[in-house]
Structure 1
Amino acid sequence: MKPVLVLLVSTAWTFTGAQYYYQGLMDYLENRLLAIEDRMQFWHGQLHRYHTELQDFKKVTAQAMDGLKNGHSMLFKDLEGARLRVDRVEREMDYVETQTSPRACANKADKVLEQGAWGLEQSRGAGEEEEDWEELHSRVSDCIEIISGIRSVKILKRVGSPKGMWTRDPRSSKVYVFNGTTGDKVYQFNSVPDFSSSPGVSGSRQIKLPSDWSGLGSAVYNGYLYYIKQEAGMEVQVVKYDLLSGSVSDTAMFPVDSHAAVYNLNPETVADLAADDEGLWLLYATSDSEPNINLAKMDPATLDIEQIWDTRCPRENAEVAFVVCGTVYVVYNTRLTSRSRVECVFDVNDMVISEEAPLLYFPRRYGAHASLKYNPEEKQLYGWDDGYQIIYRLTMKRKLLV
């Protein structure tokens, strides 16, 4: 009986211990679950807060984007309005210029030129003609001017190819048109008004040259046409053609070995002849690897090279160049065709300092200049821009170091 009692007591004690153990385990698990639920509720609250903040941020961002969009629209409208106003002003300026003379100024020499005083058909005596010419020559021989700005722009007409050249001889009123980038024909008009009023090139005198001119670097100076002759397998030549007799007066070999373009944006022009108050100039590049434009002073009578300079003006992105009073102005642009601008100036007499060099911008028109020719008598530039013939009237000032 006693062993049975001991067994019962032992069994009861074991059962009671197991009950306490499992109860403790259940309490522990229940506490852990409650802690996990609390943590999940905390995470849920945090997630809700983050979601709310994200929604607020998206709302603020959307409002800011709407504001930027409205601002962009208003700015675009303002720019469009400004463009329309600029176009209107340019049209009004063109209209005003059509009511006035194409001259930049009128003086005694201008009147002599306009009346054809230097023409061969005139009835005046040779002595009086020579006297007037000596007076004109003395007036421009001491050239001490630099360009200070572009006074006005006149779009004369549109005729011919996108690329070409037109110019006027400072010693006469005749205008010469070179259509395209090469050819053996030149169109001569009696005056700028005649060219402006003519339909196309009809009504002109057609001059047929003995050889093709190449590029857009020709020049007309004192009754002679100077042009570049470039043939395959032959050296480049400068040709002097007498417009009166219709014959070649002289030729000279080009002072380089290669046919490198002088302007990167006009590869057809291997050399550019320019005439100004001081005579005849030649702009060229010695080779394809030469980064800068070179300048040579030529004797217009013999075509001899008198002196050579490195202008230090790069050929890269160069569009055209012209010479005024012995100062080279190189016009630059980009291949995407933006506004043309003078970025490099070189004076052969070192009389133009960097602070004096003008920052010239040409009004944006149609494309890029194929040529710009300076007329020292009128102080005007004759430009060819995508087939449009344009006159730029210049304002001048004295060089500071004179």
Structure 2
Amino acid sequence: MRASILLLLLSAWALSTAQNYYEGLMDYLENRFLAMEDRMEVWHEQSNRYHTELRDFKRLSADIMERLGKEHDTLHHDLERAGVKVERVEREMEYLENRNPPRPCVNAADRVVEQRTWKVEERRGGAEEEEEEEEEEGAWEEEFSRVSDCVDVISNIRSVKILKKVGSPKGMWTRDPLSSKVYVFNGTAEDTLHQFRSVLDLSTSPGLDLSRPIRLPSRVSSLGSAVYNGYLYYVREEAGADLQVVKYDLLNASVTESAMFPVTGRAPVYSLNPETLVELAADHEGLWALYAASDWEPNINLAKMDRDSLDIEQMWDTRCPRENAEAAFVVCGTVYVVYNTRQPSRSRVQCVFDVNDVLTSEEAPLLYFPRRYSAHASLKYNPEERQLYGWDDGYQILYRLALRRKQLV
């Protein structure tokens, strides 16, 4: 009997202990769940706050972007209106230039084409005219004897004459400074050079069919060619071979000299005319070459070459960038680099390099070419006439230049 009572008491105690344990465990779990619910509630509050702040930020950003878009549209319309006004002013200026052209025949040194091309007054004939021509020729010789030391720089563009339109959008035309013959390359890589007896013959011809074609030994990089004293200087490029500068006798139709040109790669000298790898130019000082030393070279380099042997005498880094350059020319040892944009606008001389370090880009006047058609494929300077022969979208254009003396130190 006692044993049964003891057993009952032990069982009751065990059950009481287990019940207390499970009650404590349930209380613990309930407290943990309550804590988790509190944290989840805090997280939801923070999430709602962040969502509200993000929504407000997006609304504010949308308002700002909308205002910026409206301001951008307003600025774009203002720029369009300004562009229309500039084009209208340019058309009015061109109209006034055509209605009131400048007097080109001040003296023989300023003659643009020939005495018959831009003539101001009728020929008067007789002994009086012959006497005036002799005096004019004497003045011409005297003036050019004064500038033969070649210390002149360009001050402005005096006038423009659009001769005609013949050929493809890109090409080159020039006149031999020591003769009246005119030479035309139609295209960027040609083996035929078209010769005319004078600028007048080219202006009156219906096309290139009436020219005297000169077939060259190979296709050449025509845009960078130069003509001087009966010789054609051009760049020959062949696949897998180095660039060569070739001197070609136009009278005898033969190659008289050739030399390798020291460049690595085939980088164009002008980014806007990638067909021109080397630009050759001739003036009173000799033969010049403008080029890019390598594919990664950002600037245009200049080399002075011997006109007879084609040896390189000296080389310079002009510090004029190749980017957005369309053409360049050399006047009295000074390089003038002409720039434009991918969407053609007004060409301008923006960088100048003087081999004698007399003239700097900051001191040189900012020259703007009158807006015409597209962009210059080539610009060739004639030192005897002091004018540029330009090729612009198939149009042959003459730019008369005004020169002044360098400020020597």
Tell whether the structures are fold-level matches, with TM greater than 0.5. yes
2:380/2:388 contact within 8 Å kept: yes
Structure 2 CA distance for partners of 1:110 and 1:368, relative to 1, 3 Å = closer
- Kindly state the Cα deviation for residue 106 of structure 1 after the two structures are TM-superposed: 3.5
1:109/1:136 contact within 8 Å kept: no
Structure 2 CA distance for partners of 1:112 and 1:259, relative to 1, 3 Å = closer
- Kindly state the Cα deviation for residue 194 of structure 1 after the two structures are TM-superposed: 1.1
Structure 2 CA distance for partners of 1:338 and 1:86, relative to 1, 3 Å = closer
- From 165, 170, 176, give the equivalent of 1:163: 170
1:152/1:394 contact within 8 Å kept: yes
Structure 2 CA distance for partners of 1:111 and 1:201, relative to 1, 3 Å = closer
- Kindly state the Cα deviation for residue 350 of structure 1 after the two structures are TM-superposed: 0.8
- From 129, 140, 153, give the equivalent of 1:146: 153
For the residues of structure 2 that align with 1:239 and 1:330, how far apart are their CA atoms? Answer: 24
For the residues of structure 2 that align with 1:278 and 1:373, how far apart are their CA atoms? Answer: 15
1:35 is matched with none
For the residues of structure 2 that align with 1:167 and 1:183, how far apart are their CA atoms? Answer: 16
CA deviation digits over 1:182-216, x for unaligned, max 9?
11101111111111111111321111111111141
For the residues of structure 1 that align with 2:361 and 2:320, how far apart are their CA atoms? Answer: 13
CA deviation digits over 1:2-61, x for unaligned, max 9?
xxxxxxxxxxxxxxxxxxxxxxxxxxxxxxxxxxxxxxxxxxxxxxxxxxxxxxxxxxxx
CA RMSD of aligned residues (A): 3.0
2:267 is matched with 260
For the residues of structure 2 that align with 1:393 and 1:135, how far apart are their CA atoms? Answer: 20
2:90 is matched with 86
- From 283, 305, 325, give the equivalent of 1:276: 283
1:349 is matched with 356
After alignment, is 199-208 or 349-358 more displaced?
A: 349-358
- Kindly state the Cα deviation for residue 315 of structure 1 after the two structures are TM-superposed: 0.7
Q: 1:299 aligned to 2:306?
A: yes
- Kindly state the Cα deviation for residue 277 of structure 1 after the two structures are TM-superposed: 2.3
1:107 is matched with 108
1:386 is aligned with what amino acid? D
- Kindly state the Cα deviation for residue 91 of structure 1 after the two structures are TM-superposed: 3.8
After TM superposition, the score normalised by the length of structure 1 is: 0.71
Structure 2 CA distance for partners of 1:355 and 1:193, relative to 1, 3 Å = same
Structure 2 CA distance for partners of 1:358 and 1:77, relative to 1, 3 Å = closer
Among all aligned residue pairs of Structure 1 and Structure 2, give the percentage whose two residues are the same amino acid. Answer: 66
For the residues of structure 1 that align with 2:340 and 2:82, how far apart are their CA atoms? Answer: 26
- Kindly state the Cα deviation for residue 281 of structure 1 after the two structures are TM-superposed: 0.2
Where does structure 1 differ by over 3 angstroms across 4 or more consecutive aligned residues? 75-86, 94-97, 108-115, 133-141
- Kindly state the Cα deviation for residue 84 of structure 1 after the two structures are TM-superposed: 4.1
Q: Aligned to 2:153, what secondary structure does the other structure show?
A: strand
1:196 is aligned with what amino acid? S
2:109/2:385 contact within 8 Å kept: no
Where in structure 2 are there 5+ consecutive unaligned residues?
1-69, 117-139
1:328/1:346 contact within 8 Å kept: yes
Structure 2 CA distance for partners of 1:155 and 1:261, relative to 1, 3 Å = same
For the residues of structure 2 that align with 1:108 and 1:81, how far apart are their CA atoms? Answer: 37
- Kindly state the Cα deviation for residue 86 of structure 1 after the two structures are TM-superposed: 3.3
CA deviation digits over 1:354-398, x for unaligned, max 9?
442120111111101100000011110110111111111111111
Structure 2 CA distance for partners of 1:78 and 1:261, relative to 1, 3 Å = closer
For the residues of structure 1 that align with 2:168 and 2:109, how far apart are their CA atoms? Answer: 36
1:114/1:172 contact within 8 Å kept: no
For the residues of structure 1 that align with 2:157 and 2:219, how far apart are their CA atoms? Answer: 34
2:109/2:144 contact within 8 Å kept: no
Where in structure 1 are there 5+ consecutive unaligned residues?
1-64, 116-132
- From 369, 378, 385, give the equivalent of 1:371: 378
For the residues of structure 1 that align with 2:110 and 2:249, how far apart are their CA atoms? Answer: 23
- From 186, 194, 214, give the equivalent of 1:179: 186
- Kindly state the Cα deviation for residue 89 of structure 1 after the two structures are TM-superposed: 3.6
CA deviation digits over 1:80-105, x for unaligned, max 9?
576445324414524655x976x7x6
1:206 is matched with 213
Structure 2 CA distance for partners of 1:285 and 1:399, relative to 1, 3 Å = same
